[in-house]
Amino acid sequence: MVRGRIADGTCPPRTRVPSVVQLTSEFGVANATAHKVLRALREEGLTYTEPGLGSFVTEQSESAGSADA
């Protein structure tokens, strides 16, 4: 779902990605699942992390696929 938002432009580059707490609340998933989602997005190069600030959408993600995360 987050990946889809990045792909369709709902979350443009430099936009903050939902935190673990926001993901667990919005999607009803466990903390571990939310962490895995954020890690997968980072490993795919769709997001980057700023220590103390959170995760943000990368510039390259404009061409991301539309599969859900």
Q: For residue 60, what pLDDT is reported? A: 72
Residues 5-57: pLDDT tens digits? 999 999 999 999 999 999 999 999 999 999 999 999 999 999 999 999 999 99
Whole-prediction pTM: 0.80
Question: CA angle, corner 19, sides to 17 and 24, nearest 5?
Answer: 120
Question: Which of 21, 15, 54, 23 lies closest to 7, judged by CA?
Answer: 15
Q: For residue 61, what pLDDT is reported? A: 47
- Domains of the chain plus CATH, in order, are 2-59 (1.10.10.10)
Q: For residue 32, what pLDDT is reported? A: 97
- Torsion angle defined by CA atoms of residues 48, 37, 19 and 58, in that order, rounded to the nearest 10 degrees: 20
Query: How many C-beta neighbours within 10 Å does residue 37 have?
Result: 21
